[in-house]
Chains A and B, each alone.
Chain A
Amino acid sequence: MTLETASQQSFGQKHVLDLDSFTSQDITHVLDNTLAMEQVLEREIRKVPALRGKTVVTLFYESSTRTRVSFEQAAKILSADVINVSSSGSSTKKGESLYNTALTIQAMQADIIVIRHPHSGAPHFLARQLRSKVINAGDGTHAHPTQSLLDLYTIRKNIGTIEGKKIVIIGDIMYSRVARSNLWGLTKMGARVVLCGPQTLIPNDFLNGHRTEEGHPFAAVEIQTDLDTALKDADVIMALRLQLERQKAGHLPSLREYSQTYGLNARRLAIAKDGALVMHPGPMNEGVEIETDIAHGAQSVIEEQVKSGVAVRMSLLYSMAAGQNLEI
């Protein structure tokens, strides 16, 4: 077989810390291969030998079902060995530092470490210190690149392309790592992004440093505090989880007021384009940021987001394991 190797090697990342370092080719590469991974999930025997002999360790310092389980399933379907470490059941409880825990894991010859941590930057720290490849599965309020990749995949699958589409992200932008990673992912793929929420959760100077910078991907990002205005001509609506602690911190007068001003309901959905996609990274507060009938309605692709999570993560693990020039 004649292999067109050079032209096909379009994934250039050793670690996956955030999408800011990804090129649009890297993103497209992961999304394209996700299709092949979805086909594996539809087979009778859901197992391929791609990552045989590789070890993937999930290291979770924060609770998670969706993300951890889908990483575990993705790695197992690709035949990798998976070790799950959670902070509650490990030596972390005895006061072991992140660095020492990570060294122990590296000593077990982990090829890829998937980490979630409440502190922004923890995955970057590991990537600098360790020889293993690192995937950020959510760090503090900073980034959640794999969630963004599966959002991009879901959009592309449902409306064909991301470029030129109007995507409205609603809610707790300031504290949302999903929104931050999606800002990078969506703008790199050429989408028009509108951020919408109360000023307490999107400060006036949010992104200002970037928005005034000529040619920066964020330069075209719009900020809008009125949801009805933001939703006009929207192709995709992403509602974010409202952390209930925000009210205590004084960012919101009351949940009821938030839900009246920024909750996604049938009347508001009608303002967007016909058939606009409704997305949510989960877990949802139904009745707060999104009404139940919309969350489970015909335009919702929320369940599909969860489903594509496994295939997207398979594609990503595969690309990282196959990285040619990235060998350690």
Chain B
Amino acid sequence: MPLIEKRIQNPVQIERALTRISHEILERNGGGDNVVLVGMHSRGVPLAQRISTAIERFEGIKVPVGKLDIGMYRDDISEKGSPLMKPTDIPSDINGKTVVIIDDVLYTGRSIRAAMDAISDFGRPSQMQLGVLVDRGHRELPIRADYVGKNVPTAKDEDVQVRLMEIDGADEIVITTNNNDMGDKT
């Protein structure tokens, strides 16, 4: 199957987007004192850590970072096979906090729905917000992101891949198109 790959963001652009999102989080929430970042496995976790580091650089405060695996909250477990779950670690108390969910790509919105359910089982945040590096459209639920690195209009048969140093050894965002339409897209 021939895969056509097109790079749409380089490391500098990713860095700039994350810097802007970090500022926007601080601006919107009047500082970072009440904020908890929760990164969704896999790539949301390093993204959340980078945002936390950026905020520390700007304001000198450490925003706690949690990790979330939504495997047990998906609404499609009978269709997708058994995923390998990664550790979920929600820092201490999220009651009354502003929880900012961080993920790499926002697509159908189903993962975010699952993440909101999962976070609700750990407490009652005063609000939840959503930050993503890429919004590629095609929502299937009434969900939108509060912080977006880049809006990327895509066709359904395309795939957006965010690659990060921590996991993939390099920072870039690419769009892949599968010439053969039979590909199983997620």
Spell out A's residues near B (CB within 8 Å). 1-5, 8-11, 29, 32-33, 35-36, 39-40, 43-45, 47-50, 78, 318-319, 321-325, 327
Q: Are B82 and A319 in contact (CB under 8 A)?
A: yes
- Report the bound CA distance from A29 to B161 in whole Å: 25
Q: Are A50 and B72 in contact (CB under 8 A)?
A: yes
- State whether the Cβ of B162 lies closer than 8 Å to any Cβ in chain A: yes
- State whether the Cβ of B122 lies closer than 8 Å to any Cβ in chain A: yes
User: What 8 pairs between A and B have smallest CB-CB spacing?
Assistant: A324-B81, A9-B81, A36-B85, A322-B82, A48-B72, A50-B72, A319-B82, A11-B82
Q: Are A32 and B82 in contact (CB under 8 A)?
A: no
Tell me which residues across on chain B come within 8 A of A35, comparing CB atoms: 85, 87
Q: Are B122 and A49 in contact (CB under 8 A)?
A: no
Tell me which residues across on chain B come within 8 A of A10, comparing CB atoms: 82, 84
Knowing A2-B160, A322-B77, say if A39 contacts B82 (CB, 8 Å).
no
Q: Distance in Å from the Cβ of A54 to the closest Cβ of chain B?
A: 9
Tell me which residues across on chain B come within 8 A of A2, comparing CB atoms: 43, 104-105, 159-162, 186
Tell me which residues across on chain A come within 8 A of B107, comparing CB atoms: 1
- State whether the Cβ of B78 lies closer than 8 Å to any Cβ in chain A: yes
- Report the bound CA distance from A324 to B82 in whole Å: 7
Q: Are B82 and A29 in contact (CB under 8 A)?
A: yes
Query: Taking chain A's interface residues, is the majority helix, strand, or loop, or is none over half, making it mixed?
Result: loop
Tell me which residues across on chain B come within 8 A of A44, comparing CB atoms: 122
- State whether the Cβ of B121 lies closer than 8 Å to any Cβ in chain A: yes
Closest to A316 in B: B82
Q: Are B82 and A49 in contact (CB under 8 A)?
A: no
7 additional contacts (CB under 8 A) given A2-B161, A39-B88: A3-B83, A33-B82, A45-B122, A48-B73, A50-B72, A321-B77, A324-B82
Contact with A along B71-97 (1 / 0, CB 8 A): 111100111111111111000000000
Knowing A318-B72, A319-B82, say if A36 contacts B88 (CB, 8 Å).
yes
- State whether the Cβ of B59 lies closer than 8 Å to any Cβ in chain A: no
- State whether the Cβ of B44 lies closer than 8 Å to any Cβ in chain A: yes
Q: Are A322 and B78 in contact (CB under 8 A)?
A: yes
Closest to B111 in A: A1
- State whether the Cβ of B117 lies closer than 8 Å to any Cβ in chain A: yes
Q: Are A32 and B186 in contact (CB under 8 A)?
A: no
Knowing A2-B160, A49-B72, A49-B73, say if A322 contacts B103 (CB, 8 Å).
no
- State whether the Cβ of B40 lies closer than 8 Å to any Cβ in chain A: yes
Tell me which residues across on chain B come within 8 A of A9, comparing CB atoms: 80-83
Find the residue from B82, B104, B186 having the highest chain A CB count within 10 A: B82
Give the residue of A1, A49, A324 whose beta carbon is less than 8 angstroms from that of B79: A324
Closest to B120 in A: A45
Q: Are B161 and A32 in contact (CB under 8 A)?
A: no
- Report the bound CA distance from A43 to B90 in whole Å: 10
- State whether the Cβ of B69 lies closer than 8 Å to any Cβ in chain A: yes
Q: Distance in Å from the Cβ of A160 to the closest Cβ of chain B?
A: 17
Q: Are A322 and B85 in contact (CB under 8 A)?
A: no
Tell me which residues across on chain A come within 8 A of B105, comparing CB atoms: 1-2
Tell me which residues across on chain B come within 8 A of A11, comparing CB atoms: 81-82
Closest to B115 in A: A1
Q: Are B104 and A318 in contact (CB under 8 A)?
A: no
Give the residue of A4, A318, A327 whose beta carbon is less than 8 angstroms from that of B82: A318
Q: Are A5 and B80 in contact (CB under 8 A)?
A: yes
Closest to B121 in A: A45
